[in-house]
């Protein structure tokens, strides 16, 4: 009986929905010549390196963060129809990472709860290719929305606190501002512009208007929080909501630049223009580049079973457990 080795540090083995195992090896070489003239698609990390145009392999990044996606590690036997995800040769099981296409050798399990690996309809395939890249970008946009949510939420809370205690806090604010103006030369003139100037305007508003401003900032913060949640989980409604919200604010940002130019305003405008262009082009919103149907077709092409079949070395030997090798 072959002894099952202990998983290496950081390795995790899961059930039929996929497992994660750290580390990767080359696939078995036996039978590779049997591929004949069949040309496999370029696998992540096998492309020729370009010195001045580096390429980020999102599949390898995903496996580096979450481990490899393997299936069949909890099966006692394997079948010929499982050759896309697991094979057996020379006393070893070769498990295929469904994300980055690495083949990893492990000894067959001594005691496994399942007889066979899961069927195709039971396997949840991870994202690959363009859809995986889009998931990373969407989560970057979601992180930007989280920052907006936190900042706007803090401003809303501060306005409500000030409005509810305006009589006491206005006097304290005036004393603090006068002390700062006397301590630092030039602060008196700067207190009428920039962020400090906006704070002065808010401090002079009536309680009713302060509650109105606090409500506006609070609603805007909630909208950004909803966008962040939806974008993190790649919900199409969140993409539409983000696109509409950012597009409506672009004229205001352009107007602000006509009043005064600042690095923060320029960076904010560039980021928002990128978000609008990316969502329209890459995610095909409002029917751009074929719309949602084309987006679903690309996801199926890059992340579905046909993508695995195009990257499968058909010549590798397949030996069900117990057969003579």
When pLDDT is averaged across residues 95-122 and rounded to a whole number, the result is 92
Least confident of 1-10, 141-150, 276-285: 1-10
Beta carbons of 305 and 126 less than 8 angstroms apart:
no
pLDDT tens, residue by residue, 32-60: 434 445 566 777 877 777 777 777 889 99
User: Is the model's pLDDT at 8 over the cut of 50?
Assistant: no
Greater model confidence, 206 or 11: 206
Q: CA-CA distance, 151 to 129, in Å (whole number)? A: 34
Q: CA-CA distance, 191 to 206, in Å (whole number)? A: 20
| Range picked from 130-134, 226-230, 308-312 for highest mean pLDDT | 226-230
Least confident of 5-19, 23-37, 187-201, 260-274: 5-19
Query: Structural domain boundaries of the chain?
Result: 1-126, 130-166+218-303
Least confident of 69-78, 117-126, 147-156, 163-172: 163-172
pLDDT tens, residue by residue, 250-280: 999 999 899 888 898 999 999 999 999 999 9
- Residue in the block written with tokens 């008196």: 188
92, containing H or E segment: strand 92-96
Beta carbons of 67 and 20 less than 8 angstroms apart:
yes
Q: CA-CA distance, 245 to 238, in Å (whole number)? A: 10
- Residue in the block written with tokens 């990472």: 97
Q: CA-CA distance, 129 to 178, in Å (whole number)? A: 59
pLDDT tens, residue by residue, 122-159: 999 999 989 999 999 999 999 999 999 999 999 999 89
User: Is the model's pLDDT at 11 over the cut of 90?
Assistant: no
Residues in a beta bridge with 93: 88, 106
Cβ neighbours of 160 (radius 10 Å): 17
Percent of the residues in the chain that have a pLDDT greater than 90, as a whole number: 50
Cα angle 74, 75, 76; round to 5: 125
Alpha-carbon distances of 216 from 143, 146, 222, rounded to whole Å:
22, 17, 10
Beta carbons of 22 and 67 less than 8 angstroms apart:
yes
pTM for the structure as a whole: 0.76
Q: Give the per-residue pLDDT at 173.
A: 65
Cβ neighbours of 221 (radius 10 Å): 20
- Phi, psi at residue 33, to the nearest 5°? -65, -20
Q: Name the pLDDT band for 175 (thresholds 50, 70, 90).
A: low
90: Cβ–Cβ under 8 A, 6 or more apart, which residues?
28, 30, 325
| Local structure of 106: helix, strand or coil | strand
User: Is the model's pLDDT at 170 over the cut of 90?
Assistant: no
Q: Give the per-residue pLDDT at 151.
A: 94
């Amino acid at each position: 009986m072959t002894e099952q080795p202990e998983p290496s540090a950081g390795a995790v083995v899961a059930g039929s929905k996929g497992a994660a195992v750290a580390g990767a090896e080359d696939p078995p070489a036996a039978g590779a010549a049997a591929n004949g003239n069949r040309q496999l698609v370029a696998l992540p990390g096998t492309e020729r390196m370009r010195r001045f145009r580096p390429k980020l392999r999102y599949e390898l990044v995903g496996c580096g963060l979450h481990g490899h996606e393997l299936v069949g590690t909890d099966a006692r036997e394997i079948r010929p129809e499982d050759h896309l995800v697991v094979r057996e040769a020379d006393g070893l099981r070769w498990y295929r990472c469904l994300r980055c296409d690495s083949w990893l050798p492990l000894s067959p399990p001594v005691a496994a709860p399942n007889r066979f690996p899961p069927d195709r309809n039971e396997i949840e395939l991870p994202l690959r290719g363009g859809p995986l890249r889009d998931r990373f970008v969407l989560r970057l946009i979601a992180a930007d929305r989280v920052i907006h949510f936190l900042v706007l939420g803090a401003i809303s809370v501060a306005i409500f606190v000030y409005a509810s205690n305006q009589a006491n806090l206005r006097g304290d604010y005036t004393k603090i501002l006068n002390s700062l103006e006397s301590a630092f030369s030039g602060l008196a003139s700067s207190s009428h512009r920039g962020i400090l100037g906006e704070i002065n305007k808010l401090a002079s508003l009536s309680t009713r208007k302060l509650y109105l401003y606090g409500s506006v900032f609070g609603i805007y913060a909630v909208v950004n929080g909803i966008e962040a949640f939806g974008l993190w989980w790649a919900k199409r409604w969140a993409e539409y909501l983000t696109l509409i919200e950012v597009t409506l604010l672009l004229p205001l940002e352009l107007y602000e630049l006509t009043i005064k130019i600042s690095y923060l305003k320029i960076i904010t405008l560039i980021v928002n223009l990128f978000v609008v262009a990316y969502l329209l082009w890459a995610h095909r919103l409002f029917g751009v580049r074929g719309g949602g149907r084309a987006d679903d077709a690309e996801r199926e092409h890059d992340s579905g079973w046909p993508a695995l079949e195009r990257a499968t070395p058909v010549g590798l030997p397949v030996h069900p457990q117990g057969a003579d090798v």
